[in-house]
């Protein structure tokens, strides 16, 4: 496995030239365009790594699966999905279009920005600070990593420039999807996106979901039902308007982030974390997708 990963990283670095590092959030553009790394964890305690697997980056949209788990724990499945749908939107992650044109009157799914901001508003806590601290503590428990923290430079940059997300927040308030304070929801959302991780952290998150919500130390943190919901939405919506193609090409639950991360889940077997900040036009790591596609073919990982 180790040799295979080194070979795949070497092979796919060249494709990073075809992508672009995100620059709409200040500081994100400082990432090394040709950085590429992978970490895989299995249930025998093995860790396989290659390339830039230790490089720190912000989790961005991958955090949406963490807050979704916590929101369902806090409020129950029925309430959460009364406020956000379970359907792929077919639009880019930051599209606001369907908030106005759709008769659904709620975001299509919790993986697009509008859905994730709605989910952030459902996290319990007396104020934004307590809400976010609960998100961070939950993520620390899931990954068994107490060192996780926010990159405050990126958080401040995104909070200052996140005007379209702010517009979505107030749109959701107007439609009764967000019931509390919009600025609190946005603060939680911008902070959750700015949590710093590396490919190992993502592999831990992936293995947690592969084991249906149980940590490596055997603690059951979420129900199997919640884990199933999250994995299913990763397959149908996790890569936005590329989700269908990724389901065909890779065939495992995946969730991407504009920081360049992708988390992959091989149910019952593996957690995969990939890092490659050079993104395709849909905001997914271009090198990461190619590595996952090669790995899936080589190891016959597809769940279909
Ligand atoms: O809200 C945003 O636009 C970013 N904080 C997160 C977007 C993202 O990661 C999309 N995923 N590929």
Fold match between domain 2-60+196-299 and domain 61-193:
yes
CA–CA separation, 25 and 283 (whole Å): 13
Looking at the CA of residue 94, tell me the nearest atom of ligand 1: 3
pLDDT of amino acid 105: 86
pLDDT at position 131 is 98
Place of tokens 């389901």: 247
- Ligand 1 neighbour 165 (Cβ under 6 A): yes
Distance CA 187, CA 247 (A): 32
Give yes or no for a contact between 21 and 283, defined as CB atoms under 8 angstroms apart.
no
Q: pLDDT value at position 102?
A: 86
CA atoms lying within 13 Å on the CB side of residue 208: 29
The CATH architecture assigned to 61-193 reads 3-Layer(aba) Sandwich (3.40)
Instruction: Decide: 102 in ligand 1 pocket, CB within 6 A.
Output: no
Report the separation in Å between the CA atom of 219 and the middle of ligand 1, taken as the mean of its atom positions. Answer: 30
Report which ligand 1 atom has the smallest distance to the Cα of 256.
Answer: 12
Q: What's the pTM?
A: 0.97
CA distance 56 to 301: 27
> What is the rounded CA–CA span in Å between residue 232 and residue 86?
9
286 contact partners, CB below 8 Å, separation of at least 6? 15, 16, 18, 19, 276, 278, 279, 280
Determine the Cα–Cα distance for residues 29 and 6; give it in Å rounded to an integer.
26
What gap in Å lies between CA 247 and CA 252, rounded to an integer?
6
The answer to whether the beta carbons of residues 215 and 142 sit under 8 Å apart is yes
Q: Does residue 9 carry a catalytic annotation?
A: no
- 50: Cβ contacts below 8 Å, ≥ 6 apart: 2, 5, 6, 8, 9, 37, 38
C-alpha–C-alpha distance, residues 298 and 296, integer Å: 6
Query: Which are the contacts of 136, defined by CB distance < 8 A and separation ≥ 6?
Result: 148, 149, 150, 195
Q: CA 93, CA 95: separation in Å to the nearest integer?
A: 6
pLDDT at 264 (0 to 100): 98
The reply to whether ligand 1 has any atom less than 6 angstroms from the CB of 192 is: no
Read off the tokens for 21.
Answer: 């590092």
In the residue annotation, 258 being an active-site residue is answered as yes
* CB proximity list for 160: less than 8 A, separation 6 or greater: 26
pLDDT of residue 104: 84
Q: Which residues pair with 285 in a beta bridge?
A: 279
Average pLDDT of each block of 10 consecutive residues along the chain (304 residues)?
97 97 95 98 98 98 98 98 96 92 91 98 98 98 98 97 97 96 98 98 98 97 98 97 96 98 98 98 96 98 97
Which residue from 135, 136, 140, 137 is spatially nearest to 124, judged by alpha carbons?
A: 135
Domain boundaries, the chain: 2-60+196-299, 61-193
Does residue 257 have its Cβ closer than 6 Å to ligand 1?
yes
Task: Report yes or no: 35 and 277 within 8 Å, Cβ to Cβ.
Answer: yes
What CATH number does the domain located at 2-60+196-299 have? 3.40.710.10
Confirm or reject: Cβ of 258 under 6 Å from ligand 1: yes
């Amino acid at each position: 496995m180790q040799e295979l990963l080194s070979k795949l990283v070497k092979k796919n670095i060249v494709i990073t030239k075809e992508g672009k590092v995100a620059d709409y959030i200040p500081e994100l553009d400082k990432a090394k365009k040709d950085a590429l790394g992978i970490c895989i964890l299995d249930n025998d305690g093995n860790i396989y790594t290659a390339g830039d697997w230790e490089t720190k980056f912000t989790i961005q949209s991958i955090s949406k699966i963490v807050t979704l788990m916590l929101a369902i724990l806090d409020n129950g499945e029925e309430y959460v999905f009364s406020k956000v749908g379970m359907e792929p939107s077919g639009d880019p992650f930051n599209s606001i279009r369907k908030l106005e044109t759709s008769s659904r009157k709620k975001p299509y799914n919790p993986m697009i920005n509008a859905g994730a901001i709605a989910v952030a508003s459902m996290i319990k806590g007396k104020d934004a600070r307590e809400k976010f601290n609960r998100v961070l503590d939950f993520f620390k428990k899931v990954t068994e990593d107490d060192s996780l923290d926010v990159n405050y430079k990126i958080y401040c940059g995104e909070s200052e420039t996140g005007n379209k997300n702010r517009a979505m927040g107030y749109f959701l308030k107007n439609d009764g999807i967000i019931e509390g304070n919009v600025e609190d929801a946005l603060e939680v959302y911008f902070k959750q996106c700015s949590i710093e991780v590396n490919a190992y952290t993502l592999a831990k998150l992936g293995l947690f979901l592969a084991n249906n919500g149980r940590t490596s130390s055997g603690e059951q943190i979420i129900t199997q039902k919640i884990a199933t919901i999250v994995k299913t939405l990763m397959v149908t919506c996790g890569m936005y308007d590329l989700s269908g193609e990724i389901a065909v090409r890779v065939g495992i639950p995946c969730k991407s982030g504009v920081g360049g991360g992708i988390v992959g889940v091989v149910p019952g077997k593996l957690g995969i974390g990939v890092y490659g900040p050079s993104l395709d036009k849909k905001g997914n790591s271009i090198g990461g997708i190619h590595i996952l596609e090669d790995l899936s073919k080589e190891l016959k990982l597809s769940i279909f």
